[in-house]
Each structure stands twice: as structure tokens, then as C-alpha cells.
Chain A
Amino acid sequence: EAQVTQNPRYLITVTGKKLTVTCSQNMNHEYMSWYRQDPGLGLRQIYYSMNVEVTDKGDVPEGYKVSRKEKRNFPLILESPSPNQTSLYFCASRTGTYEINYEQYFGPGTRLTVT
């Protein structure tokens, strides 16, 4: 089954404790992206990757890191989480590098709480 998977689905952590949220897709998609969803703000793009070893900042990259060493994986790293990073996070992927016509496929979401 074609899908985007995220782990963990739920995470409660404390301020400053480094964490990684994994994202994997099995559709051989070039483009992958991370979003956070907050009430009243919709989804905001954190980082995106056009292909392996190519990443770029979205609209809210502060406090986050990403890497794209393999085509299928795009982990999101919070080196020192803070309470304002409490949010619902979605990973997404789509085919093509520069082809904006293609829709994104979303993972199920990771609900992160930082206390």
C-alpha cells in the first residue's frame, strides 16, 4: 500500500530534550515536506526537500533541523524543544522535483507536547 508513515504518532517530552520524528514514504517520491498545524493557523511549512541532499526552509524553520540522506526518509529533528513547538506535525511527499502540479500525500500526523 502506498503510504507516508510517521513515528511516533504521539510524544510527550520535556523542554530541551532532543527528539527526532521519522517520516518514510514508499512511493519513490522526490519531494518531501514537514508541516505543523496549529489551531486557527492552518498548516505551515517547516522544511521541504526537492530531492536527496537538497533541503530548503519553509515559512517556520526556526528550532527545527532536517536531513535527506535517502530518498524515502525525511526525519525532523528538534535539537532543544520548547513549549511553543507543541503542535500537530505532518509529513508529506509528492512525485516530481519541480512539478508543482502534483498533489502531496500526507502522513497520519504526530502530536507533540513539550512541557
Chain B
Amino acid sequence: AQSVTQLDSHVSVSEGTPVLLRCNYSSSYSPSLFWYVQHPNKGLQLLLKYTSAATLVKGINGFEAEFKKSETSFHLTKPSAHMSDAAEYFCVVSDGGTYKYIFGTGTRLKVLA
């Protein structure tokens, strides 16, 4: 069975400092992994995805994530936070066993001026 754990429900950073949002997954098959962002009262937007090509994945707005199979992790990072990054972030796993998508419970990122 597949599952996703987002290790922090809330993260606060100062503007201009690095962002780290942690995600661990479990999957019986080779997974695809995604990060989505949801700004307040908005829909979901894809930040980046891992699909078994390069393990370091670059996404939009300066975000990137590294797939580490040995650690079953897919942490999201950004070198320098911007006020507009304040939002909720979801890690998502899918695999070829069920074709379902499993979302983590989300991490709310707060950016302090």
C-alpha cells in the first residue's frame, strides 16, 4: 500500500532564508511523486514531479526536490523564501499498483518579513 507522511504541519521561515518541507513516502511499486501548492482560497498548482528520470527535480518559482530511494524521501527545498511562497504544500504519491493518488496532510508555510 502507498502512503505519504509530511513531517511538519507548519513551517515558518524568514524572507530570504532557505525553505525545507519534508516528505516521506511508502510504495510497493516504482512511484511517481509530486508537490502541489495551494494558496489561500485557491486551487492546486503543480510545483514539480518525479517520474524515475533525474533524482533532482527542478520546478517552478525556484523550488526543487530530491528523490532519495534509500530514505524513501522527497523533500522540497528553495534557497531563498519569498513572501509570495506563503501557502499550503502537498506531497503526493502515485504508483502503478492502484493508480490512486495519495496526498499528504499538507505543510503550511509561513514567511516572515
Binding site for B on A (CB under 8 A): 31, 33, 35, 40-45, 48, 50, 56, 58-59, 90, 98, 100-101, 103-104, 106-109
Contacts and interface: CB of A to CB of B under 8 A. Distances in A.
B101 A40 contact: no
A106 B44 contact: yes
Nearest to B88: A42
A35 B51 CA distance: 22
A104 B44 CA distance: 10
Report the contact-size class of chain B (Cβ under 8 Å from the partner): 20 to 34
B102 A45 contact: yes
A104 B96 contact: no
Contacts of A35: 103
A101 B103 contact: no
Interface of B: 6, 9, 31-32, 34, 43-44, 46, 49, 51-52, 90, 94-96, 99-106
A35 B44 CA distance: 12
Given A45-B100, A104-B46, 12 more contacts: A31-B99, A35-B103, A42-B105, A43-B90, A45-B103, A59-B100, A98-B96, A100-B32, A100-B94, A100-B95, A100-B96, A103-B34
Given A40-B9, A101-B32, A101-B51, A90 B96 contact: no
27 contacts: A31-B99, A33-B101, A40-B105, A40-B106, A42-B6, A42-B90, A42-B103, A43-B44, A44-B103, A45-B103, A48-B99, A48-B101, A50-B99, A56-B99, A58-B100, A59-B100, A90-B43, A98-B96, A98-B99, A100-B31, A100-B95, A100-B96, A103-B34, A103-B46, A104-B46, A104-B101, A109-B43
A58 B95 CA distance: 14
A107 B44 CA distance: 8
Contact of A42 (B32, B34, B99, B104): B104
Contacts of A31: 99
